[in-house]
Chains A and B, each alone.
Chain A
Amino acid sequence: MNLLLEARGLHLKFGAIAALDDVAIDVSAGEVVAIVGESGSGKTTLLRVLAGQMAPDSGTVRYLGGDVLGMTEAERRRLMRTDWGFVHQNPRDGLRMGVSAGGNVGERLMALGARHYGNIRDEAKAWLQRVEIDAARIDDLPRHFSGGMQQRLQIARTLVTRPKLVFMDEPTGGLDVSVQARLLDLIRALVHELGLSVLIVTHDIAAARLLADRILVMRRGQVVEQGLTDRVLDDPQHPYTQLLVSSVLAA
């Protein structure tokens, strides 16, 4: 088993509230893992701890065997440039709004050492098309894009460097339902094509079913149930998972 990310015994308290209460999780190469649960369950906190953006009170996080929590800021930034990607719920947190669409994609390549302007622009153009943005918009600023387009641009910016592991925090969060479906479908296709490993936080059960191989259900900082996605959703064991699954309206 080709283990990429491995976390054990994570604890984190905000005052009296346990945001993470003895959480363990791992992600193998080529695997999509979803973390589901309602607001305040600790799922976004877990993602931020795993990505090295927030320190837990105790516990370990290892990426390819290396200690994530003990890394210097420079080492973590290097990992974010080379091996990792992070897709934020709000595209404005992942994009540079004052830089053109092409620049948003291209600067990630430049950070990895690409210098040939023509090649960078060609690759940026190819990625815009891949996320279904008209290549003619390459010089436009993202602030003139719709929410769905901004999110697709953020995905292009994240994936252009071919990360091994992508963290996604509610990537379909603030979008219209029709736009969500298109985005999920795009993510699903890209994950397949590129063989990405993805750790995705979502409160959308249907999104988890569509994308994830495995699922973890969080409640009050604890993982209450985990396993094969379709088994957890079709044969939930924990009372909270049963409530979560039965609360989804069938369309």
Chain B
Amino acid sequence: MTILLRTEGLGKTFTLHLQGGTRIPVLGGVDLAVRAGECVALSGPSGAGKSTLMRCLYGNYGAGAGRILLAHQGRDLDLARADARAVIEARRQTIGYVSQFLRVIPRVSTRDIVAEPMMARGVARVDALARASALLDRLNLPERLHGLPPATFSGGEQQRVNLARGFGPRHPVLLLDEPTASLDAANRAIVIGLIDEAKQAGTAIVGIFHDAEVREAVADRVFTVEPMQDAA
């Protein structure tokens, strides 16, 4: 199958100017390739840089070295070099990200929060709202909550809103950062189902799954992120 996302020699070092310019190397020489329909689980000890890698893949952190090639509208877009507008367009059309925490927008209803990225991808409002409701139902979020802003929801409820928002637009590439961290067994099973369906539809998925049961169920292979030695 086609490779939809790959990194070549990806490196990332943080320079803390407020701490006397301390340099913290986190990633070096990362070569990762993810094919359509495949789910790759990132593994490695806590602090090894799994989340940093995910954030680089989404363009949230700037890459320090190497390339991040995303198959975007018929060509490879290098997210390590792309300007802000190109990254925004890639996020709109091609790459989605489910973070651990929902960034709540005051006063916007749950249904609208979920529908928004679908509409940004060109889905008509009525269809986006219908799919939003269906996803929220499937994730067992009671219908009486759909019209409310999620600011007051529990952690597990907010995570399910985030999942609905992430799976809604059917981006060809999807990044999942601990998508089941605050969910019970029943809802974990639903997320496993969503991931399976996305894979069958050809989505390339990269995930961090601390839950071994979820990882076994969805990951086709594991990619180990090696901790780097601290350079003093």
Query: A residues touching B (Cβ–Cβ < 8 Å)?
Result: 1, 28, 31, 181-182, 184-185, 188-189, 210, 213-214, 227-228, 230-231, 234-235, 237-239, 242-243, 246
CB distance from B64 to the nearest CB of A (A): 10
Of A228, A237, A242, which contacts B88 at CB under 8 A?
Answer: A228
A231 lies within 8 A of B62 (CB): yes
B106 lies within 8 A of A181 (CB): yes
B87 lies within 8 A of A228 (CB): yes
Residue total for B at the interface (Cβ-Cβ under 8 A):
19
B62 lies within 8 A of A188 (CB): no
CB distance from B14 to the nearest CB of A (A): 8
Across the A-B interface, the 4 shortest Cβ-Cβ residue pairs = A239-B17, A228-B84, A235-B61, A214-B84
Contacts of B17 in A (CB 8 A): 238-239, 242-243
- In angstroms, Cα B210 to Cα A68, docked, is 56
B106 lies within 8 A of A213 (CB): no
| B231 within 8 A of partner (CB) | no
Chosen A-B contacts, 30 in total, with CB atoms closer than 8 Å, are: A31-B85, A181-B107, A184-B106, A188-B105, A189-B108, A213-B85, A213-B88, A214-B85, A227-B62, A227-B84, A228-B59, A228-B84, A231-B59, A231-B60, A231-B61, A231-B87, A234-B60, A234-B61, A235-B14, A235-B55, A235-B60, A235-B61, A235-B62, A237-B62, A238-B17, A239-B17, A239-B18, A242-B16, A242-B17, A246-B18
Of A182, A210, A237, A242, which contacts B105 at CB under 8 A?
Answer: A210
What string of 1s and 0s marks CB contacts (under 8 Å) between B12-55 and chain A?
00111110000000000000000000000000000000000001
- In angstroms, Cα B89 to Cα A214, docked, is 13
Contacts of B85 in A (CB 8 A): 1, 28, 31, 213-214
CB distance from A155 to the nearest CB of B (A): 16
Query: B residues touching A (Cβ–Cβ < 8 Å)?
Result: 14-18, 55, 59-62, 83-85, 87-88, 105-108
Given contacts A184-B106, A237-B62, 8 further A-B contacts (CB under 8 A): A189-B108, A227-B84, A228-B87, A231-B61, A231-B62, A235-B61, A238-B17, A242-B16
A243 lies within 8 A of B18 (CB): yes
Interface SS of A by simple majority: helix
CB distance from A219 to the nearest CB of B (A): 13
Closest to A210 in B: B105
Of B62, B87, B107, which contacts A182 at CB under 8 A?
Answer: B107
Contacts of A182 in B (CB 8 A): 106-107
- In angstroms, Cα B62 to Cα A242, docked, is 14
B61 lies within 8 A of A185 (CB): no
Contacts of B88 in A (CB 8 A): 213, 228
- In angstroms, Cα B108 to Cα A43, docked, is 30
CB distance from B73 to the nearest CB of A (A): 15
- In angstroms, Cα B17 to Cα A242, docked, is 7
Of B18, B61, B87, which contacts A242 at CB under 8 A?
Answer: B18
Closest to B52 in A: A235
Contacts of A242 in B (CB 8 A): 16-18
Contacts of A1 in B (CB 8 A): 85
CB distance from A3 to the nearest CB of B (A): 11
CB distance from A225 to the nearest CB of B (A): 11
With A31-B85, A239-B17, A242-B16 already in contact, the answer to whether A230 and B60 are too (CB < 8 A) is yes
Interface centre among A185, A188, A235, A246 (most CB of B within 10 A): A235
Interface centre among B61, B62, B83 (most CB of A within 10 A): B62
Of B60, B83, B107, which contacts A185 at CB under 8 A?
Answer: B107
